[in-house]
Every structure is written in C-alpha cells, then in structure tokens.
Structure 1
Amino acid sequence: MKGSDGYSTNSNPKLIEDEQKRCRAVEDRIRSLPLSKITNSCKRTLLRLVNSELEFLSRLSSNSPNFAGPICVNIGYLESVVHILQQTFITGVSRVCKPIPLTSGNGEKKCFPSKGVHVDIVCTIDSNPVWFVVSDRNPKYISWSGSHKNKGLRMRIEQVVEAAHSSLTLKPSSIILFFANGLDKVLSLKVGDEFGASEFGKEFFIFDSDITEELEGDWVKLHARSFRGASIFQIKIDAFMDTVSSSEPGLKDPLRGTATLELPKYRSNLVPGDAFCSLISRIKLISLDTDSATPEALLGEELVNFDTTALVALVSGISNDDTDKLLATPESELTKRFKSNTEFVIAQVKSEIQTPILTELEAVISGKICMICKTVHLEFKELLSMCGGSNEKWRADHLLKCLLVVPDHPSARMMGLPTTRKIALKNKILFGTGDYFHAPTLTANMGFVRAISQTGMPLSTVEHRPRALTGD
C-alpha cells in the first residue's frame, strides 16, 4: 500500500516503451497541478519518483535489450496518487509519499516501525486534515494477516491508525484507504468490522488516463487507465477533537456578544447594489452566544475564518472605488501619506482596476458564516484607529456586525508547532482558531501559509490579494 506496490510485465522493448510513455503522461499531470492545491516541494517529490521509474526503464532497455523476464514497475501507484490529487475536493496538499514518524506522549519517537508509517497524501478535505493510503495492487495479492514476505493489510492499517493517534501537528480527522484496483469483499468486511471503516462519501471524478502518439498524421491511443473499479474507505479518528488546554496563552477572557440577525442599514452615501453592500448582504447571519460557539454547535454550517488582512481588504478605499482618486493624487502627497509603502499601494490600485477584489471575495463568502477570533477583532480595531479614514471605519462598523466573533481557540495541532520568527504565536492563534472550527482562513499572509506547509501540516486557507487602508 505504498511506493513498493508494483506489477510485473515482460520487459520486451515495446512494453518498456509503453511504460515510459505512461511515466511521461503522469509527469505532465503532476506539472499541471496548481500551486493553490499542492506545494512545490510535494511536486518535486512526485517528479523525483517518476524520474526514478524512467531511469530504471531506460537502464533496462539499454543494458538488456533482449531480456524477456518480468520487471516490477510502480507507475500504476503514481497514477493512482495523481488521480487523487486531481480531484477538486482535495486541497492543501502538504506532504506526499513520505513516512510519518510515530511519537509517544512525551514526543519521543517509538521504536516500531523504525522509519515511521508511510502515508501517500496529507491534505485537507472540507477544511479537515486527511491522510490517504494508496494501493495499486491486484486484489488477489492483498492478504489480511500477511506472511513472512508481507505484513498484511490488518497490520498496515493498525500502524497508520496508531500514527494518526500519536501525531499532533499532522493529526488527521480521518484516514482514507484507496484501493485503485478494488478490494476483495471478505477483506472489505474485515476493514469495516475491525476498524469501523465505511465507504468514502465523496464521489471521485473519473479521469481516463489516455496515452496517445501521432502516427502518420493520426493520434492513436496506446493505453487507458480507469479507476471505476476502485474501492475507497474512510476511517474516522476520534482524537482529532482534542483542544489546547484553557491555560494556554490566548484562551482566557472570551469575548462576549452575539452576531446580529438584522441586516445593517446603510448610509445614503452607499447605495444598495454597490459592491460592498452586495458583499455583506451575502454573508449568512447567525444568532449565537459566542461563548457557546463550538464546532459541534456549528455542525453542518459553512464557515470562513477572516484574518486581519481579509478585513482590511474588504473595507479598504482601494477596494471601494477610490482608485481614480488615488491615481490623481500627486506623487509627493502619496509619498507623504504612505511613505515607503507608496509603490506597494499603487500596485494594489492597478491590480484593483484590472480585477476588482470584492467581486472575487463575494464568491468566496456568499452563503457562509464569516467568523473572526478575538485577536483579529482587537488588532483590526487598533489598525483602524491608527490608519483608517472615516469611510473605512464606517464600512468596518457594518462589516463587524455581520461577523461571528469567537474566543481565541487555536487547535492543538497548530499550537503544537514551535513558535518561530516565521510562525508567530499571534498567527498560530488566529489560523489555529479557524483550524479548530474547521473553517478555511481567508488571508493574504502567504509567508505564514508557506511556513506551515514546510512543516508538512495541511492547513485550509484561501488566498486573496492584499489591500491597504488609505485613510479615506
């Protein structure tokens, strides 16, 4: 159920050539995966694995051109991994085809297994962290109890579940078992009975992996890979809901209040139908005492967590029709107002003229409950008092009435990361609170997002273009 899953084929020149074409097709699909879904580091890992297959096939072809014995190739396994990564519901891919070490309660690595447990994909689904374990084996060669050659499916699953329970920063909400070629009915029942696995609820889009080449002006199909016979199971990890102790920094003194159910009344200088009014009218309002706001209380609701950059972008004069006014302002006055940030602000103005940001953000938040934590609420109000103009403060007042303000409550896995210059405590609290509520965080702080991805921890975020307060 990992990279060693391969199959044998006779190594005549034609078969080797076909396998090389499959490798190149997978390579193209990996390169086409968007960076909004998967990190560059993960793409490099996958490309390195494909390159190893190509090098093996190339050596076999050149060193033993007439050899007719069986060979073992792993390209089917890589096809399966990439097929999963192409699914639209897969986001935040932070780790692929690597072992995850087992740790004890005091943080020490366990002795068994010595190299950790191999997990094929660490990602998020519906803002929840998930592990995928992938098998491309022929079902008739998958045994439950194993042998001296194979540890068996039962032990394999036990080790992954143990790793999930022992992990902190990488802890998943569930483990997905993906059997690309299906699984025997008897073993399927055992997976359900012994591990509480159920069929995975989401539908996989079926991509037929066609490999074609041009012969005399016509494209000819050489191979097609379908995953219609795949068996997919989900094992939920109960320990995911563990939270940080209330003695941790940032968890005391919860903010009291409720989110209003009455749509704010707008001043006459903002007519109904303008971009800002349209946007906040799309936010789903909820009446909930914030002290009782928990993931359980909001179960079934779609949430979006805002950081301070998102709030600024929503109320900024740049986002709200001040672009012409700013461009008409003399450069000396702009420099006096924005100092060393002048070029940064002008770049934002040009970006706004080309693509208005509120239209993009409305699509992200429409019909969702929008939340902020106490830290963001206080930071935003302080920033407004120092840099915001009267119109920006007015918009902020109406925006905040539409948001659910919750106590700082970062997830245990986020607080388990070491605090560093790039992973500051404040950001761990605000992003971690979104993680605790299973809400993606809307942010322009991609430096922090990149720092988290480098730890291997999957985190659900939505990027927006930065905007600054103009003092308007």
Structure 2
Amino acid sequence: MMKQKGREEEVELAKERCKGVIDRIERLGVSQSCRRTLLRLALSDLNFLTRSSSTSSLNIGHLEAIVHILQQPFITGVSRVCKPISSPLHHLDIVCTLNTNPVWIIVSDRNPTYISWDSSPKKKTKGLKFRLQQLLTLARSSTTLKPSSIILFFSNGLHCNTFIREKLREEFGASEIELDFSVFDFDYYFSDDSDGEWVNVNVLGRSYRGACVLEIKVVGGGDDDDDDDISVLSAVKGSTTVASVVPKLSELAADTFCSLISGLKIFPSQLKTKLEMRGLLAEGDLVNFDTTALIALVSGISNGCTQKLLATPESELRQRFKGNYTFVIGQVMSEIQNPIHVELGSIISGKLGIICESVHSEFKQLVLMCGGPNEKFRADQLLKHLT
C-alpha cells in the first residue's frame, strides 16, 4: 500500500513538472517551429503519465534542462531544437548562437555514473566517444550550420565520473567554460495591470548548481587539398572539408594508386550466363578486400602525405588527431618502411578484386563521413575496379 501511494505521488509530481515545462515553453522567445517541437515532446510525456503508473520512460528531466538553457539571455538565434541533423543518427538538442558564436549543444540529464564512454555491442548502445566523433566529423563538413564549438551540458555534473571528464579533455580537448547560468528554474508570469512587476514567482524544485558545461572547439577545415587528403580516414576521424576542386584522374596518373588499380582485372561486362561467371570465379585469381584494406589503399597516408605529416608540429597533430595521434604516427612510419601500394601491387596485379555488400556499404559510409576530397575521389575510382 505504501509503495503504491509512493508511486502515485511520484506520478503526480512528474505531471506537475510536465505542466510547468509546457507553461515555460509557451513563453520562450523561439520560433514557432521550435516551440511546436518542444510542446510535442512535453505533451507526449504528460499523456504517457495519464495512462501509466510509472515514470521510468520519461524524458522530462532532459526537456527541463533544454528549456532552462533556452531561457538564458546569452542564448540567441535558436534555429533547431531536439532534432536530428543530416541523418537520424546525429541528434542535436540545440542549434543556436552563444555569445555571438554559432554552437551545437548536447544535453545530458543522466546520472553521471551511468554515462558510458565506449560503445557496447552487447547492450546495443553507442558510447559518448562514438557520438562525439560522428558529430565533430559532421560539424567540420557542414556548410549551412557549421558551428565554432560543440557545447556539452551535463545537468547533473560529472563530479562522480572524473573518467569521462578526463577522456573528454584528453581526446577532444574539451575545456570547462564559465557561463552565467541561473542556478534555479524560475516559473513566473506578468499581469496586465502590474506595470511589468512580477506578480507570482514560483521556484521549481530543480537546481543546476552542480551542472558541468564543457566546450569542444571545432577545428579543421580550409580549402587546402593536401590538408584534406591527410584527414583522419586512417583513424576514422578528422577533417572532412570538401575542397572546391577535386583532381581529375589524369592528374593522378603517375602515382602509385593509379598503377595499383589499373593492374586489377575488370569483371567482363559481356558475361551473360551464371555458368560463365562461375567459370571465371573458379579460376582462383580473386582478391577479397575487407574494409580495412580498402581504407588503407585510399588513405592520404598511403598516397604521398607522410612527409607533410612528419613536418607538422607535434602540438598541431595532437590537436587534430586527439587520442589517435600515436596510432596515426605509427601508420606513417609503417608506410615509410613498407609502402602498402608496393606491397599489394605484386599480389593483386592481374587478379579480380571482389568485396561483399556489407564491406561496400561500410567503406562508402566511412569515406563519406571521414574522407578528404582526394580520398573520396580515390575511393570512387577503386570501387569502379571492384566487383
């Protein structure tokens, strides 16, 4: 009986929180589109509470934190709230201007103890690291909504998860920023005959005193083809700015990559029967490429950018590659000692290159998200020579 009463009180409190958020959303100085999105989410939670005796599936805390941020005077130019950008995989809570700078804001209302860093295939969850890698890649390639920073707002702080804070600092260069956030949520309204005085001030039971706000600078970009070509495709992270001019194949004819793919046997287009295809495949002159091999073939590291990387100051490389710095330098040294195009050239020459559908899909997605313009061009040419 006591447990039942406790659950009922919890549900009623959650309903009041939903109603409070709805009231504040109505007064936000944002576009009608943004307001409709927020209201839809709040009403969805409220409707859920009217049908259920549980609060376990609610997002009201997350929504409260978003509305709290939108109420701050230094947040302006809000163009998008609680919507994916580019694809459903890339969800942003707020796209706006913070102190005149365009930013993307990610809000977490989770207990910091349960924030995971790495992805977990067993739990089918993507860790914070993976999500930030994808968002940074997207941010650097974005043209219309390109941010100067990605802001992380942890409404419950990170005081009991210093591991996450340190990883954000080490791998993404995240730094804490001081913003004059109000500590409490205020629910207020004006009366027509009050001459602008506050008639009623209701302080909601939500404090953000322990909130943690971190900033990750979105670095990278520019129109230099060479810089784009040493994007972090080798580390599946890095610059993805698309240069205005992509070199034609004739301009690359002298390099080892063109020599490599020109040595591959092309699947005859005139084959018409399954028997003819089986006969060709039975000859045994096949090379089955996996995703790692394909990336290695088109990566800037394998295509003449090793010396430029080694000539770049270490501090700049660490800023660009974050936690992948050691791995990338290792790849550079390996390429200098054993150039992959030379090693594979004699192995695949005269043979038919094949890939499965899953490798084809994964490779195209990685190149699209993480490749520089020259890497994308080489990937396109390579796929034309594979079956």
Q: TM-score, normalised by structure 2?
A: 0.50
Q: Which has the higher helix share?
A: 2
- Whose relative contact order is higher, 1 or 2, with alpha carbons under 8 Å and at least 6 apart? 1
